[in-house]
Amino acid sequence: MAFIQKRKNYELKFLLTIVLLFVLIIVSSAIGIANITFSQTMNIILSRVPFVNKLISQDYISSTHRLIILNIRLPRIVLSAFIGAGLALVGTAFQAIFKNPMADPYVLGISSGASLGATIAIITGIEFAFKNIGMVTIFAFIGAISTTFIVYNIARVGGKIPINILLLAGVAISFLFSSLVYLMMIFNREQIEKIIFWTMGSVSEASFTHVLLVLPFVLIGGIIIYVFARDLNLMLTGDETALTLGIEVETVKKLILVVSSLIIAACVSVSGIIGFVGLIIPHILRIIVGPDHKILLPFSAVGGAIFMIICDTLARSLVPPIEIPVGAITSLFGAPYFIYLLVKKKKQVN
């Protein structure tokens, strides 16, 4: 009975968190340079909901306000939510696989690969777009996926992937690709500002096309990771223990790594590098809801979405009309927490 009651409590908390997320989306949509009230924003958004739109009058809302909400603010807010959810999901999975609380989605050098791809696209000046998706996004995605393939093959020993070698390979490739990006910046100084702004992370150019690009990766990838929630729980006890309990450890590792890499590649390709979301959100939610991944994963996804929406709202509203890269805001929150983790770990060693 106690277990059932506890499960119902978590379900209620998750439902309330989902409600909070939707409220936050509407509130965030109302914030900006243009003076649009909360009620107007809610009416504009609900006007796009089937059946509900017939009950809402749009006579007093200007077409300009409708354009701002539906074509500018809402796409970037929804994209921020999916990016935050994807980063938090992968961070949670990686911390379980690597058994390391400091693991984050970029630990395998995927961000450096995406940066290299984006830098190549920026300095070559290719303007071609495929279904409103620019070449910077396409090259960043290719760079991220290529990095995963390279790191995986460097670390692979027969049919196994030793975690220590995988991490070291990720660090080495990350430094190599970062060095290449710096060299390109030196020889193409007129493009430095664009490259730096991309690497700092931003969703200022978001559209629903970008949302549709990220959505299947985060949604399907998140479901796949959640299916292996029990396996992640057992892997935390050690690979040997998990093996004795019937878990195909190496197979699970490979699958999670592939799925997670695809999620990160999709997120990074449309937003640039947004740090610390996949590091701090799993830790915060682990404290609140516990270490069980069946509960932790969905809460981390929603928590990551909420965190990213808040950070993006601050990025575009703190010093208008100047927009701060959202990666800078997440780092301002994340870096102090990272330092706190280091201090806490040091005390445990002592």
Tokens of 30: 């109302």
At the fourth CATH level, the homologous superfamily of domain 24-349 is ABC transporter involved in vitamin B12 uptake, BtuC (1.10.3470.10)
- Residue 236 phi/psi, 5-degree rounding, is -65, -25
Model confidence, pTM: 0.92
Residues 6 or more apart in contact with residue 138 via CB below 8 angstroms: 121, 130, 269
The domains of the chain are located at 24-349
Count H helices, E strands: the chain?
A: 15, 2
Taking the C-alpha atoms of residue 91 and residue 312, their distance in angstroms, rounded to an integer, is: 20
Look up tokens 């279904």; give the residue.
Answer: 131
CB 12 within 8 A of CB 299: no
Digits of tens for pLDDT over the chain (350 positions)? 555 666 678 888 899 999 999 999 999 999 988 888 888 888 888 887 777 767 777 667 788 888 999 899 999 999 999 999 999 999 999 999 988 877 888 988 999 999 999 999 999 877 665 556 788 889 999 999 999 999 999 998 877 888 888 989 999 999 999 999 999 999 998 888 889 888 889 898 888 999 999 999 999 999 999 999 999 999 888 878 888 888 888 899 999 999 999 999 999 999 999 988 998 999 889 988 988 999 999 999 999 999 999 999 999 988 878 888 999 999 888 888 778 777 877 777 66
Tokens of 106: 């970029």
φ, ψ at 133 (rounded to 5°): -105, 115
